[in-house]
Amino acid sequence: MFNEKMSRRRFLSHAGKAALGGGLLYAVGGTVIKPRSVLGSKDKKEAEKKMPGVEGDLWKQYAGTKLIFMSENTPPSYAIKERANEFKELTGMEIEIRQDVLSTVQEKVGIDLKGGTGGYQLNYAQDKPMTTMFADYQADLFKFIGDDTLPQEPEGYDVDKWGYRWLDVTGFFYNKDRLVAFPYDNAIAIMFYRQDLFEKYAGKFEAKFGYPLEYTDDTTWKQVLDFMKFFNGKDVPEIEYGFGFQGLEGWAGQLDFQRVFFAHGQWEEWSFDDPFIGARDPGPCHWGDDQSIKNLYTLRELYKYAHPESLSWNWAGVNTAYQTSKVAMCVNYGEFAATVEDPEQSQAAGGRTAYGLDPKGEPSWIVNGGQAVNGTNYGIGGIAINGNLSEDMQRAAYIFAVYATSAEIQKSVLKGLGGTPTRMSVLTDPEVVKAMKRPTTMPNALTYPPSLVGVEPPHVVPGPKIPKWNEYSVLQCVECSKCVAGKQSPEQTASILKKRLDQMHGV
Amino acid sequence: MANSEVLETSGRQLSVLHKKRYGLSFYGWMVIPAVILLLAITVYPFFWMIVMSVFKVAVRPGAKNEFVGFRNYIQLFQDHLWVKGWSIQAKYVGISLTIEFLLGFTIALLLNNIRRGANTLTTVFLFPMMVAPVAVGFLYLYIFNASFGWYFWFLRTIGILKKGSILGDLQWALAGIIIADIWEWTPFMALVLLAGLKKVPLDQMEAAKVDGAGPVRRFIDVTFPNMVPVIVIAVLIRFMDIMRYIDKIFVMTTGGPAGATKTVAFYLFDVAFHFFELGRGAAMGFVLMLLTIGLAIAFVNLLKRKGVQR
């Protein structure tokens, strides 16, 4: 058969060349379909001339493009993933949302950005673990905001359109020259506590401790310590421990310790001109001062009475313990209210849980003359565009960023999976405000009243935003955990941290 | 005529003819693509690891890498987490490997002596090895969990663990990782050692029996000496594997609490892909690799000196 028209060898040779050629084309082109700009990035009129009739549909100008968004496993990403078809109908673009745990997202996105490639056109940009390091590699969104050849969010992107300075925290790093991300979701730490048990054992507690068993905005960490001792005892058979921390090494632990530190005299590791923006070189740290040592004594005392598993828990671990009645109280992120309020998953559901501001610092434990505040921190996830991409690809990615952070989508995500909106118009929407009280169809909204107070000064602690945040958080966690576990004294811990963190910054 | 001559030429002669004509034997040409591929995926990154280890790799786009000589290596010895990581690594590797070997050998002997159902039992024993290490990490994370973990409940019920925690305790956390590792990798040891046991010459065993040697004597004088090469291979493979393992630590403790499970390999991952200090990470990787190879060679040489290797 082959001899008649083409020898077997020639056929194989041609087939091989074709396969090689195809493979090379695929390799060069990558797996991502490149955008064909209809409304051009440089010259709109010229582009309109090329493709008349489509100038009205700014959303569809990059139809046929495929985008990949590498995200943490967060509610908005799940919800938007479910709406991929809707996004395709709107824009003609395909969006693939890949989700993983934050450390893996950080690793993969980091390699992509630092390697100069564009495997992920969009990435989840957690303010501290990710963007403190990668901000210089993200595209500057200023060049797209206000560009009338691109679709824009009608309510705009000004700082007051989002939660208190959330745009600064997510988008600006070390200066305000470049905007690198839009706030996409925000998990805010607040107090979850078993109101049913507080009410049931009010009398017994008061008889023992001489004051009412109540959790208010003025409840201090010293009082929380009393609550722990009470719930740990035999008086309350429904529960094992009073309180659960989330001291897992890494970001969870860093945030957990920081809340206690900041509550007492607003103590922070470094002084910044503007902590919401951060600094590349923060200078000498404050470890070793009197307040830092006092704070470590406080932390050690608190952990002594907390659930012994506390050093191995992150937000999910402590949430499981809370849901299964292992602990009566915990500081956790508002987004967990959705599972806590689900009677199929939680013993704390059905109105048993109340939400409050994080505990206040105990005035008698403050030695730096600072204020006692309800130290509150958060993790804002931004959505950022890979700066290695071509201009057109960045524009295509921007369309998704606008879509994913729009007020309409945020509200619909909140109604569906229970997201953590970042736009004030959503957080103050009458329907959402109504849902902040029981009975509610949006359990996460129950956490907004304390959250919205906690994220503003004087309670909020947004940083430290420094390029070496990841190394700092590991050092802080390891040494503070050793102190908590009784392996070294607070004085030794403060001295070690002072030496190592200053060394890290060349001080 | 020519065809029949070719047919009568042996494979070896063909190879020689090919080498004369093309400079390399036919088989040589055939393996070249594979060699190139192998070089690209092993030698090239290896070379870059060494190069990177003498640079401070730029952290900002457009910035140039700064040559720092051996500074990254010198700094390793000033890094307390790196230094402490070695003692954690030694405990992790030493305890896991010893128990896996002893348990594996026992299981292999058991399976080798079972007459009925040996195949089924072998398959059952091998199950843990077939589970992905990350999945094993999650499995043990759940069974050690204080809220619903079965192990946690069991250890507390029998009084070993009082009012405490497994993964949240500085002493217990590493033990938790080791238990998970033993569960997963003992079957590997058992499998390799079982294969070795099947190769122990029956005539020697029979001769020992005829000479009146009991089971223990037969094990010491016949089985074990015959097993040494297999033992060396099994232990070496497992040793080199466990030296770089981080999966379970990553899932179960992320190196905590208080750095109690932060092995050198895990800290290397932290430095390279968490802090993105690629120069430092490369120096760590290079040292870890050299030490792993060095220890492996030392182990083989030790066995040679003891005269137990054939």
User: Is residue B293 over pLDDT 50?
Assistant: yes
Binding-face residues of B in 72-91 toward A, CB within 8 A: 80-81
CA distance B250 to A386: 27
Minimal Cα–Cα distance from B181 to chain A, Å?
19
Determine the Cα–Cα distance for residues B248 and B173; give it in Å rounded to an integer.
12
Residue among A317, A470, A485 minimizing CB distance to B258: A485
Predicted pLDDT of residue A56: 57
Residue A359: cis peptide before it, omega within 30 degrees of 0: no
Q: Is A481 on the interface with B (CB under 8 A)?
A: yes
With beta carbons under 8 A apart, name residues in chain B contacting A487: 170, 258
Q: What pLDDT sits at residue A32?
A: 42
ipTM, 2 dp = 0.82
**Residue A280 near residue A174, CB atoms below 8 Å:** yes
Residue of A nearest to B260 (CA): A478
Domain boundaries, chain A: 8-186+380-433, 188-378+459-504
Contact A253 B61 (CB under 8 A): no
Under 8 Å between Cβ of A390 and A408: no
Number of A to B CB contacts under 8 A, please give it. Answer: 109
B83, B84, B147: best to mutate for the A interface, most A CBs within 10 A: B147
Cross-chain residue pair A136–B173, CB shorter than 8 Å: no
B177 touches chain A (CB under 8 A): no
Cβ pair A309:B250 closer than 8 A: no
Look at residue A425 in the predicted model and tell me its pLDDT.
95
Q: One fold for both A8-186+380-433 and A188-378+459-504?
A: yes
CATH topology for B72-306? MetI-like fold (1.10.3720)
Q: Chain B contact for A477, CB < 8 A?
A: yes
pLDDT band at B61 (very low <50, low <70, confident <90, very high): confident
pLDDT greater at residue B155 or residue A446: A446
* A72 Cβ under 8 Å from any chain B Cβ: no
**In chain A, what residues touch B256 (CB-CB under 8 Å)?**
247-250, 253, 311-312, 477-478, 481
A52: burial class by Cβ within 10 Å (0-12, 13-18, 19+)?
A: exposed
Confidence of residue B29 (pLDDT cuts 50, 70, 90): confident
Q: Which one of A474, A479, A484 makes the best mutation probe of the B interface by having the most chain B beta carbons within 10 Å? A: A474
Give the CA-trace dihedral at A361, A366, A369, A374, to 10 degrees.
-10
A463 inside 8 A of chain B by CB:
no
Question: Do B255 and A320 count as a contact with CB atoms less than 8 A apart?
Answer: no
- Say if A133 is an interface residue toward chain B (CB within 8 Å): yes
> Chain B within 8 Å of A97 (Cβ-Cβ)?
no
- A122 in helix, strand or coil? strand
Q: What is the 3-state secondary structure (H, E, C) of A6-50?
A: CCHHHHHHHHHHHHHHHHHHHHHHCCCCCCCCCCCCCCHHHHHHH
pLDDT given for residue B42 in this prediction: 87
Q: Which CATH superfamily is domain A8-186+380-433 in?
A: Periplasmic binding protein-like II (3.40.190.10)
Over residues A412-431, the pLDDT tens digits come to 888 877 778 999 999 999 99
Write down the pTM of the prediction: 0.85
B277 interaction partners in chain A (CB closer than 8 Å): 471
Query: Is the CB of A312 less than 8 angstroms away from the CB of B273?
Result: no
Tens digits of per-residue pLDDT, B203-219? 998 999 999 888 889 98
Contact B253 A487 (CB under 8 A): no
Distance CA A193, CA A331 (A): 8
**What CA–CA distance (Å, rounded) separates A76 from B227?**
58
Residue A294: what residue type? Answer: K
In the block, residue with structure tokens 């992790």: B92
- Report the residue of chain B nearest A313, measured CA to CA: B168
* Contact call for residues A66 and A96 (beta carbons, < 8 A): yes
pLDDT of residue A259: 97
Check pLDDT > 80 for residue B110.
yes
**Tally of CB atoms within 10 A around A325:** 18
What is the structure's pLDDT at A412? Answer: 87
Q: Where in chain B is the domain with CATH 1.10.3720.10?
A: 72-306
Mutation target vs A (from B155, B156, B276, B280; most A CBs, 10 A cutoff) = B276
Cα distances (angstroms) measured from residue B107 to each of A268, B174, B184, B251 = 56, 25, 14, 28
* Interface touch A110/B259, C-beta < 8 Å: no
What pLDDT shows up at residue B18?
79
Tell me how long chain A is: 507
The Cα–Cα gap between A106 and A121 comes to 14
Would the CB atoms of B165 and A324 count as touching at under 8 Å?
no
| B20 class by beta-carbon count within 10 Å (0-12 exposed, 13-18 middle, 19+ buried) | exposed
Q: Does A249 touch chain B (CB under 8 A)?
A: yes
Instruction: Using a CB–CB cutoff of 8 Å, tell me whether A112 touches chain B.
Output: no
Residues of A with Cβ-Cβ distance to B258 under 8 angstroms: 249, 311, 478-479, 481-482, 484-485, 487
Alpha-carbon distance of B259 to A481, in angstroms, equals 8
d(CA A215, CA A193): 8
Q: Which CATH architecture has domain A188-378+459-504?
A: 3-Layer(aba) Sandwich (3.40)
Q: State phi, psi for B117 to the nearest 5 degrees.
A: 75, 15
Report pLDDT for A30.
38
Token pair recorded at residue A44: 């709109």
In order, the DSSP letters of A220-278 are BHHHHHHHHHHHHSTT-TT-SEEEE----TTHHHHHHHHHHHHHBTT--SS--S-TTT-
pLDDT tens string, chain A, 507 residues long: the values are: 344 444 544 544 554 455 444 444 444 333 444 444 434 444 444 444 443 334 458 999 999 999 999 999 887 888 888 889 999 999 999 999 999 988 899 999 999 998 889 999 999 999 999 999 999 999 999 999 989 999 999 999 999 999 999 999 999 999 999 999 999 999 999 999 999 999 999 999 999 999 999 999 999 999 999 999 999 998 999 999 999 999 999 889 999 999 999 999 999 999 999 999 999 999 999 999 999 999 999 999 999 999 999 999 999 999 999 999 999 999 999 999 999 999 999 999 999 999 999 999 999 999 999 999 999 999 999 999 999 999 999 999 999 999 999 999 999 888 877 778 999 999 999 999 999 999 998 999 999 999 999 999 999 999 899 999 999 999 999 999 999 999 999 999 999 999 999 999 988
Instruction: Check if A408 contacts B (Cβ < 8 Å).
Output: no
Q: Cα–Cα distances in Å, from A156 out to A4, A77, A179?
A: 70, 22, 14
The whole-number pLDDT of residue A42 equals 45
pLDDT for the residue numbered A48 = 43
Q: What is d(CA B137, CA B133) in angstroms, rounded to the nearest whole number?
A: 6
Q: What local confidence, expressed as pLDDT, does residue B19 receive?
A: 78
For position B64, what pLDDT does the model report? 85
